[in-house]
Copies of this chain bind each other. A is one copy, B any other.
Amino acid sequence: MNKLAKEESQLKFEKIQNILGKENADAAIITSSVNQYWLCGFIFDGYLYITKEREPILFVRRPSDLIDDRIITIRKPEQIPDLLKEIGLLSPKRVFIEADQLTFNAANRLQAALEMPELLNISNIIRKIRSIKSVSELNQMRECADIHSEVYKLIPSLYRKGMSDLQLQIEIEREMRLHGSIGIFRSYGENMDIFMGSMLAGNNAQSASPYDYALGGKGISPLLPLGANGTILKPGTTLMVDMAGNYKPYMDDMSRTFVIEHAPDIAYKAHSISIEIHNEVKKQAKAGLLCSDIYSIAEDIVNSNGLQKYFMGTVQQAKFIGHGVGLEINEPPVITPRSNETLESGMAFALEPKFVLPNIGAVGIENTYIVHHDGIENITKFEEELIVLN
């Protein structure tokens, strides 16, 4: 790790230590990959043990070749009390765990191993801290969005007449991987599977899905009912491309809409309303704005254009029009009508006001914005108008 990364890691540990102090807790134990990476810059199978007073301890089961002077090798959590004793520490009485990430069984085992401390949940606290990105994290997201644009630029050249949504998606996935996509597309929460993103063509955009994403799609497997389903790309319909911006550990999110040869006026109209919402939000948003106010801006524009019944779906309508982005695709804040979250400097969020038009398809755009004290910065700088595929 370079000096800067070490300093940044140190600052993050201090934030967790502050939480321990405030909540009068003895330790925080971090086991999720995403939070281990956020704190350490690498991941391991084991327990990242943070106390108020001293350097973190890395109780590592695997990999065996990790080099770090904070490591104590471990086989099972039951060893923790003795290993703590050896370095002069008592078993903790109040412990933060990632209660929204650790399974019920793993948490119970850890609690028993630690001689039954009181358990507190640090999952949402860390998500909130992580929602304010560092300078280097934001730079990763900007680089990621630039690569994202490079790939989207290739879409017209990957398109062939008569292709299905899935065939085009496969060619896009290949370009994504050749441009450095790491493959895995991280989302938070239970049963939130996704693979490399989503493409919605024609009426497949109306299919409801079990997941908490903005739009659905039927998918090609009953075990992953989401996104492209083999719909042939037909003239007069639209294709919404919402593929992953997963080129760095820190991600961006971007959707663009393509028209197959031509589309009815209503598609152009609704798409321009999505852009209008972005433009209005860009004018008004800055640190301090309530997320619910962003929703209101969008809602007012949608209502005054009479497009409510197409907004964020038809059969099933999403309750949010935007979300934080970072190591995971669904971070805080969430942009909903009743969100009490506020934009803060250093946050990054995706805004995705979309319309689903029966017998045409989905339209609209999604950009990722970084929040500054005096405005928001669009990092997904790519053609926003409908793009015709011929």
Q: Which residues of A contact B (CB under 8 A)?
A: 31-34, 37, 41-45, 62-66, 97, 99-108, 119, 121, 123, 166-167, 170-171, 173-174, 177-178, 180, 182-184, 186, 190-191, 193, 195-196, 207-212, 216, 219-225, 249, 315-316, 327
Q: Is the CB of A212 within 8 A of B45?
A: yes
Q: Is the CB of A249 within 8 A of B220?
A: no
Q: Is the CB of B62 within 8 A of A223?
A: no
Bound-state CA distance A42–B210 (Å) is 10
Bound-state CA distance A101–B63 (Å) is 23
Instruction: Determine the chain B residues whose CB is within 8 A of the CB of A224 once the complex forms.
Output: 182-184
Bound-state CA distance A66–B62 (Å) is 42
Q: Is the CB of A183 within 8 A of B195?
A: yes
Q: A100-B103, A182-B220, A183-B195 are in contact. List 6 more A-B contacts (CB 8 A).
A: A45-B191, A63-B207, A64-B316, A65-B208, A105-B121, A182-B221
Residue in contact with A104 in the complex, picked from B103, B166, B170, CB distance below 8 Å: B103
Q: Is the CB of A43 within 8 A of B100?
A: no
Bound-state CA distance A123–B101 (Å) is 17
Across the A-B interface, the 5 shortest Cβ-Cβ residue pairs: A183-B195, A63-B208, A104-B107, A182-B221, A99-B105
Bound-state CA distance A167–B219 (Å) is 27
A141 CB → nearest B CB, Å: 14
Q: Is the CB of B103 within 8 A of A190?
A: yes
With CB as the reference atom, state the residue of chain B lying closest to A210: B45
Residue in contact with A249 in the complex, picked from B103, B191, B221, CB distance below 8 Å: B221
Q: Is the CB of B191 within 8 A of A65?
A: no
Known: A105-B99, A190-B103, A249-B222. A211 touches B62 (CB 8 A): yes
Q: Is the CB of B316 within 8 A of A43?
A: no
With CB as the reference atom, state the residue of chain B lying closest to A104: B107
With CB as the reference atom, state the residue of chain B lying closest to A124: B105
Most interface-central of A33, A42, A62, A66 (chain B CB within 10 A) = A33
Bound-state CA distance A173–B182 (Å) is 13
Bound-state CA distance A208–B43 (Å) is 12
Most interface-central of A104, A105, A107, A173 (chain B CB within 10 A) = A104
With CB as the reference atom, state the residue of chain B lying closest to A102: B104
Q: Is the CB of B103 within 8 A of A33?
A: no
Q: Is the CB of B196 within 8 A of A183?
A: yes
Instruction: Determine the chain B residues whose CB is within 8 A of the CB of A219 once the complex forms.
Output: 182
Bound-state CA distance A107–B223 (Å) is 23
With CB as the reference atom, state the residue of chain B lying closest to A37: B223
Q: Is the CB of B184 within 8 A of A177?
A: no
Instruction: Determine the chain B residues whose CB is within 8 A of the CB of A45 once the complex forms.
Output: 191, 210-212
Instruction: Determine the chain B residues whose CB is within 8 A of the CB of A222 once the complex forms.
Output: 37, 41-43, 249
With CB as the reference atom, state the residue of chain B lying closest to A100: B105
Bound-state CA distance A123–B222 (Å) is 21
With CB as the reference atom, state the residue of chain B lying closest to A61: B210
Instruction: Determine the chain B residues whose CB is within 8 A of the CB of A195 once the complex forms.
Output: 182-184
With CB as the reference atom, state the residue of chain B lying closest to A106: B190
Bound-state CA distance A31–B107 (Å) is 18
Q: Is the CB of B103 within 8 A of A208?
A: no
